[in-house]
């Protein structure tokens, strides 16, 4: 069995993790969460999204949160931008990276960003051009790459079509997303292979929600394929408001434990990461969704 010796994790907790929260999370709490994540050694953090506040009210404080962060050198801060209006608003916040997010499922595309898959690519085209002209790195995401809450099964051919479209317009990196956490390893492998027809192995990442408890297995098969970049969420926070019933991303703590146990370097201090997870879980008044954090906290007590 081979696997990479180093892995890069993007903590999407402040964005994917909090976007679905019903209670208002003050900007100062979001900023503090970002500070704790970078103190724990995270080198990439997805901070917020410049989407419509009518669609996702929790992200309405995007500019305040970006302005409140004390940036640490070597850390990359990304934001979601679904269209030019979002990108133009994001520019003032000087993100290092933006994310354009499409879907392999037509109905999910309609429900999440209010347009067809083909229209979404056309909408992303000027965003990607403007970002690259401004020297901002462009990541993409393919939602519902292994299953859709509205359409059910999603074939690898549909994933490939979106990957090709995104590549054609200049998207530099592709995140393959199990939005509703239904995938199992062989489905992940097929979706990854479809994406790898258009993207280099060094430009592909996995984004696994953990609804059915398969995300670590899905991470492992991706590692075995040579994929070394993953989106994870501290304390397993998260969910998409337009994917009802789906739970959070795989917990960063759980993935770090898996990787360190395999001798794979992440540069992350697991204890400090657990503290960051406790900070946000305490604020939300919930227990962490991370099994590893729960075990380590029990051990501390």
Give 77 or 242: the residue with its C-beta nearer to ligand HMG: 242
Give 144 or 273: the residue with its C-beta nearer to Mg ion: 144
Q: At its nearest, how many Å lie between Mg ion and the CB of residue 289?
A: 14
Distance from C-alpha of 105 to C-alpha of 155, rounded to nearest angstrom: 9
Q: Is 206 in the site for ligand HMG (CB under 6 A)?
A: no
Find the angle CA(30)-CA(123)-CA(88) to the nearest 5 degrees: 45
Q: Is 49 in the site for ligand HMG (CB under 6 A)?
A: yes
Nearest CA to 25 out of 15, 11, 37, 39 is that of 15
Distance from C-alpha of 61 to C-alpha of 279, rounded to nearest angstrom: 20
Q: At its nearest, how many Å lie between ligand HMG and the CB of residue 22?
A: 15
Q: Is 16 in the site for Mg ion (CB under 5 A)?
A: yes
Binding piece for Mg ion, criterion CB under 5 A, among 15-23, 86-94, 117-125, 289-297:
15-23
Q: Is 218 in the site for ligand HMG (CB under 6 A)?
A: no
Distance from C-alpha of 288 to C-alpha of 247, rounded to nearest angstrom: 12
In contact, 36 and 279? CB cutoff 8 Å: yes
Q: Say whether 115 is catalytic.
A: no
Cα separation values, 276 from 74, 224, 237, Å:
19, 29, 12
Residues that bind ligand HMG (CB under 6 A): 16, 19, 49-52, 55-56, 80, 82-83, 85-86, 89, 101, 112-114, 141, 143, 177, 179, 207, 209, 240, 242
Residues that bind Mg ion (CB under 5 A): 16
The set of catalytic residues is: 240
């Amino acid at each position: 069995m081979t696997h990479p010796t180093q892995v890069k994790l993007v903590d999407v907790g402040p964005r994917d993790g909090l976007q679905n929260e019903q209670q208002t999370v003050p900007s100062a709490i979001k900023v503090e969460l970002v500070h704790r994540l970078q103190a724990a050694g995270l080198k990439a953090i997805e901070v917020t999204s410049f989407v419509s506040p009518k669609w996702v009210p929790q992200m309405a404080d995007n500019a305040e949160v970006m302005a409140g962060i004390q940036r640490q050198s070597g850390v990359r801060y990304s934001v979601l931008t679904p269209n030019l209006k979002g990108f133009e608003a994001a520019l003032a916040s000087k993100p290092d990276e933006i994310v354009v997010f499409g879907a392999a499922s037509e109905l999910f595309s309609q429900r999440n960003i209010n347009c067809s898959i083909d229209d979404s690519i056309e909408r992303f085209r000027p965003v990607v051009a403007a970002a690259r002209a401004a020297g901002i790195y462009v990541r993409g995401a393919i939602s519902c790459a292994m299953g859709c809450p509205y359409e059910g099964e999603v074939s690898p051919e549909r994933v490939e079509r979106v990957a090709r479209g995104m590549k054609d317009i200049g998207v530099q990196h592709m995140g393959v997303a199990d939005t509703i956490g239904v995938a199992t390893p062989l489905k992940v492998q097929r979706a990854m292979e479809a994406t790898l027809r258009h993207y280099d192995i060094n430009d592909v990442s996995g984004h696994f929600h953990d609804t059915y408890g398969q995300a670590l297995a899905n991470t492992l098969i991706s590692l075995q394929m040579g994929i070394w970049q993953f989106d994870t969420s501290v304390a397993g926070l998260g969910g998409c408001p337009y994917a009802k019933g789906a739970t959070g991303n795989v917990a960063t703590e759980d993935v770090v434990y898996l990787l360190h146990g395999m001798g794979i370097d992440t540069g992350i201090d697991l204890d400090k990461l657990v503290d960051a997870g406790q900070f946000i879980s305490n604020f939300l008044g919930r227990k962490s969704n991370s099994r590893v954090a729960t075990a380590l906290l029990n051990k501390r007590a």
